């Protein structure tokens, strides 16, 4: 079975008082939760997984029925619960012992919640756990401080996800002092744990896994042998995941760290070329296209310490020759912010946005870089709905005319400063640009803005931070949907697994039929006014038209919610004690 990659987009905006009157969406069920809800997400099968302070539970997305609850799991972070590619199994890792110095790994039947297998307590604090695509394998990363049978250090352990058999164990060949760790998501005020959450997940290619921890290392997942390694810094103490994930093309792995781009032979580990070091040291995105390698330098990064996004300078885009790493061109015209890059091969254009403009760079430039276009971020249309109050349309239609031209301070002063944080290509050829307070659709071929939504904010808020976290994840994942087929024919499965598949199949069939919904809408948290009153809620924005297709009112200042696009559900965690499920129509 090929894994379904579900992309959850969490967007947060503050809007004007004349918000749209949109079609209310339908509440389909409510379910109270015994403990405080810490997080929630949907599985590839569409079931809702809830991590609460004192439990881990699974819910039927159609009825809200509690499929199972495990009260022996408490205070789990999302990264400690992983799905196994192709199997209805959850892998859960727990820390135990003094200061979390030991670990237990447990496999859970996704349909019944029953334990399939469980390890004994193992020496070593859990740093991360990864499932290998298209294989019944999970790789656990452990930090061993003291064990009479092995030297202190970081170890990789592989387990068969179905049987629990340990396949191999390998010491990671880097001094732990060279691997900075990050404060884990579930750390408390009095209990701080560390993990690898600031690094990109390994990239898998056939039987090989490429870890970008302290450089680039290739691991044979069938044996655990470290085939080769190239050491260079790939962590930043201020920001998480500030370096780009490795990219594999042909026989070459492209990676970055310490302000340099590396091209490494994926079979031998030979460094084919290394770029000159850039001043910033933060190359957060790589694109390998045509005969070039594009590198985004600097931009907005989330700082756990500041609990906000900070702008890291200098801001630039560099292009390297894919063959030898020689510099082709450098763009330094961005100001005030820098989004991710989108490459438009048909137009030979690299597109990005800074604080004020949408910018297209001629990718075929040599030496002095050429701008293919530079379009000011004008907000031509305020609210994308046919039911919006006419006063609202007139006020914000026509660029900076209407209300903006009239000089409203909230729209032209510091409130107007809203550096975009991501751009993404759409199936219709348009590019959607997102920021704290706006979302905009642009047609690169005509250089026209299709539609634009702008929501002035009364001031900084944690909602804005939640937006930027959400869109950053969105930009990294993109709209990549793969659909699962043939999972019940898997050989060697136990009767328990087979029966679980039969149950989970029913959910998958429904998700398959609804899968395209994930490419149609962005969900915006904002103050809305509807037929049933006003308050904080969600607007479902159609990415093709900019129209508001639906709304939900939550009436909480900072509501917690998640969106399941393929399943057509919005899950609101009311007061962090009750799940309210809405149907998106």
Which band of pLDDT confidence, cut at 50, 70 and 90, is reported for residue 188? low
pLDDT digits over 373-388, tens only? 998 876 554 443 333 3
Chain-centre distance for alpha carbon 516: 19
- Reduced to 3 states (helix: H, G, I; strand: E, B; else coil), residue 142 is strand
The whole-number pLDDT of residue 207 equals 95
For residues 15 and 514, the model is more confident at 514
For residues 371 and 526, the model is more confident at 371
Is residue 139 within 8 Å of residue 153, measured between CB atoms? no
Nearest to 83 by CA among 111, 110, 112, 62: 110
Q: How many domains does the chain have?
A: 1
Residue 157 sits in which domain range? 78-183
Percent of the chain's residues with pLDDT above 70: 74
Residue 105 included in any domain: yes
Q: How many Å apart are CA 423 and CA 317, to the nearest integer?
A: 15
Which band of pLDDT confidence, cut at 50, 70 and 90, is reported for residue 532? low
Nearest to 96 by CA among 116, 69, 65, 118: 118
Is residue 166 within 8 Å of residue 187, measured between CB atoms? no
Strands 521-530, 11-12: pairing is parallel
The whole-number pLDDT of residue 504 equals 52
Residue 398 has pLDDT above 70, yes or no: no
Residue 60 has pLDDT above 90, yes or no: yes
Residue 146 included in any domain: yes
Residue 62 included in any domain: no
Residue 160 included in any domain: yes
Q: How many Å apart are CA 317 and CA 384, to the nearest integer?
A: 33
Determine the average pLDDT of the residues in 216-234: 96
Query: Lowest mean pLDDT: which of 109-118, 193-202, 286-295?
Result: 193-202
Q: Which residues contact 453 (CB under 8 A, 6 or more apart)?
A: 13, 379, 381, 382, 383, 384, 438, 439, 440, 524, 541, 546
- Reduced to 3 states (helix: H, G, I; strand: E, B; else coil), residue 390 is helix
Residue 61 included in any domain: no
Concatenated DSSP letters for 218-261? EEETTT--EEEEE------SSSSS-SPPPEEETTEEEEEETTEE
Is residue 141 within 8 Å of residue 212, measured between CB atoms? no
For residues 230 and 547, the model is more confident at 230
Concatenated DSSP letters for 549-577? EEEEE---SS--EEEETTTTEEEEEETTT
Is residue 154 within 8 Å of residue 44, measured between CB atoms? no
Q: How many Å apart are CA 146 and CA 51, to the nearest integer?
A: 31
> CATH code at 87?
2.40.10.480
Residue 527 has pLDDT above 70, yes or no: yes
The whole-number pLDDT of residue 563 equals 83
Report, in angstroms and rounded to the nearest whole number, the Rg of the chain calculated over CA atoms: 24
What's the predicted TM-score (pTM) here?
A: 0.80
The whole-number pLDDT of residue 182 equals 85
Residue 569 included in any domain: no
Residue 87 included in any domain: yes
pLDDT digits over 429-461, tens only? 899 887 766 788 999 999 888 988 875 443 334
For residues 357 and 494, the model is more confident at 357
Residue 407 has pLDDT above 50, yes or no: no
Nearest to 48 by CA among 13, 2, 81, 10: 81
pLDDT digits over 260-282, tens only? 999 999 999 999 999 999 877 78
Range picked from 199-213, 386-400, 403-417 for highest mean pLDDT: 199-213
The whole-number pLDDT of residue 489 equals 25
Residue 16 included in any domain: no
């Amino acid at each position: 079975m090929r894994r379904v990659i579900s992309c959850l987009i969490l967007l947060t905006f503050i809007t004007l008082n004349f918000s749209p009157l949109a079609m209310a969406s339908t509440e389909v069920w409510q379910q109270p939760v015994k403990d405080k809800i810490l997080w929630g997400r949907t599985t590839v099968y569409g079931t809702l997984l809830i991590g609460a302070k004192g439990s881990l539970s699974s819910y039927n997305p159609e009825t809200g029925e509690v499929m199972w609850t495990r009260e022996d799991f408490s205070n789990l972070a999302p990264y400690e619960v992983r799905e196994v590619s192709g199997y209805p199994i959850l892998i859960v890792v727990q820390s135990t012992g003094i200061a979390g110095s030991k670990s237990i790994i447990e496999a859970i039947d996704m349909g019944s919640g029953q334990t399939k297998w469980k390890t004994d307590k193992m020496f070593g604090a859990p740093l991360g756990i990864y499932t290998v695509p298209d294989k019944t394998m999970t790789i656990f990363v452990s930090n061993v401080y003291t064990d009479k049978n092995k030297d202190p250090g970081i170890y990789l352990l592989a387990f068969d996800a179905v049987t629990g058999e340990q396949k191999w164990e390998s010491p990671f060949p880097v001094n732990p002092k060279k691997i900075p760790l990050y404060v884990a998501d579930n750390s408390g005020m009095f209990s701080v744990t560390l993990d690898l959450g600031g690094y990109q997940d390994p990239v898998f290619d056939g039987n090989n896994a490429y870890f970008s921890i302290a450089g680039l290392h290739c691991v044979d997942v069938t044996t655990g042998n470290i085939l080769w390694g190239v050491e260079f810094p790939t962590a930043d103490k201020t920001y998480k995941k500030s370096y780009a994930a490795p990219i594999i093309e042909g026989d070459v792995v492209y990676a970055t760290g310490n302000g340099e781009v590396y091209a490494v032979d994926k079979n031998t580990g030979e460094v084919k070329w290394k770029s000159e070091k850039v001043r910033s040291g933060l190359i957060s995105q790589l694109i390998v296209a045509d005969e070039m390698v594009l590198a985004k330098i600097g931009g907005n990064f989330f700082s756990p310490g500041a609990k906000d996004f900070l702008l890291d300078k200098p801001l630039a885009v560099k292009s390297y020759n894919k063959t030898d790493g020689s510099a082709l061109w450098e763009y330094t015209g961005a100001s005030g912010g820098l989004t991710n890059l989108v490459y438009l091969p048909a137009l030979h254009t690299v597109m990005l946005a800074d604080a004020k403009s949408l910018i297209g760079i001629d990718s075929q430039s040599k030496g002095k870089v050429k701008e293919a276009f530079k379009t000011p971020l004008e907000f031509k249309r305020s609210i994308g709905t046919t039911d919006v109050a006419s006063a609202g349309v007139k006020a914000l239609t026509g660029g900076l005319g209407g209300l903006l031209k009239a000089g409203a301070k909230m729209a032209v002063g510091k409130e107007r400063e809203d550096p975009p944080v991501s751009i993404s290509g759409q199936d219709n050829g348009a590019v959607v640009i997102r920021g704290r307070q706006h979302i905009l659709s642009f047609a690169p071929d005509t250089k026209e803005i299709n539609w634009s939504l702008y929501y002035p904010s009364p001031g900084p808020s944690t909602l804005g931070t939640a937006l930027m976290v959400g869109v950053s994840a969105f930009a990294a994942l993109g709209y990549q949907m793969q659909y699962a087929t043939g999972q019940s024919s898997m050989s060697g499965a136990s009767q328990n697994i087979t029966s679980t598949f039969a149950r989970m199949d029913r959910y998958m069939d429904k998700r398959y039929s609804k899968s395209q919904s994930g490419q149609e809408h962005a969900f915006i948290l904002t103050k809305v006014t509807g037929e049933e009153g006003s308050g904080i809620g969600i607007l479902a924005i159609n990415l093709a038209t900019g129209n508001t297709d639906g709304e939900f009112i939550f009436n909480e200042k900072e509501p917690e919610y998640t969106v399941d696009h393929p399943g057509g559900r919005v899950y609101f965690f009311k007061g962090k004690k009750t799940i309210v499920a809405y149907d998106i129509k």
